């Protein structure tokens, strides 16, 4: 599978400084369907996806909101900081990782794919995004 196989066909935005890192995780992580770098409002800063662009961006927006709510709840309860969420769904799995203050990396995966590799790749890409963003 390559990004040329993306159902949406072509990126809707021009590549950014983050595109290569996002492509790296989608192409290098078995079962990865999409990787989205989003801001505190859930707006996609950049993405790489085999899914439709709209679905990709909506997923990132929803997971960013959930992450922010859970992070606030944990902090209010004195339970420390939330750095990632791992969700196994009935049709797809999700990994959401804090990248910097109010920025997130969301990874959409084929259900049941290896978490160990996805977690390692997500951390590597989160570090690259932080470097590029100068967080």
Q: Which CATH number does the domain housing residue 76 bear?
A: 3.30.450.30
What per-residue confidence (pLDDT) applies to 10? 52
Q: How far apart are CA 36 and CA 56, in angstroms?
A: 7
**Average pLDDT of the segment spanning 35-64:** 92
Mean pLDDT throughout 88-110?
91
Q: Which of 36-45, 50-59, 112-121, 124-133 has the lowest mean pLDDT?
A: 112-121
Give the count of domains, the chain. Answer: 1
Q: What is the pLDDT of residues 45-58, one digit of tens each?
A: 999 999 999 999 99
Confidence of residue 2 (pLDDT cuts 50, 70, 90): very low
CA dihedral of 46, 37, 118, 129, whole degrees rounded to 10: 100
Q: Which of 61, 62, 64, 55 is nearest to 98 (CA)?
A: 64
Among all chains, which residue has been given the structure tokens 């995780």? 25
Mean pLDDT (whole number) for 83-107: 91
Tokens of 44: 């996609």
**Mean pLDDT across the chain:** 86
96 pLDDT band, cuts 50/70/90, is very high
Enclosing domain of residue 49: 3-133
pLDDT at 124 > cutoff 90: no
Antiparallel, parallel or unpaired: β 44-49 and 84-88:
unpaired
């Amino acid at each position: 599978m390559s990004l040329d196989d993306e159902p949406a066909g072509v990126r809707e935005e021009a590549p950014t400084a983050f595109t290569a890192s996002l492509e790296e995780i989608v192409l290098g992580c078995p079962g990865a369907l999409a990787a989205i770098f989003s801001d505190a409002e859930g707006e996609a800063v950049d993405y790489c996806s085999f899914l439709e662009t709209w679905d990709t961006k909506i997923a990132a927006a929803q997971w960013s909101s959930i992450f922010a709510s859970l992070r606030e709840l944990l902090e209010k309860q004195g339970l420390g900081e939330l750095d990632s969420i791992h969700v196994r769904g009935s049709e797809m799995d999700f990994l959401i990782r804090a990248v910097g203050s109010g920025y997130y990396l969301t990874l959409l995966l084929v259900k049941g794919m290896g978490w160990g590799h996805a977690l390692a790749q997500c951390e590597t890409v989160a570090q690259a995004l932080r470097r590029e963003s100068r967080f």
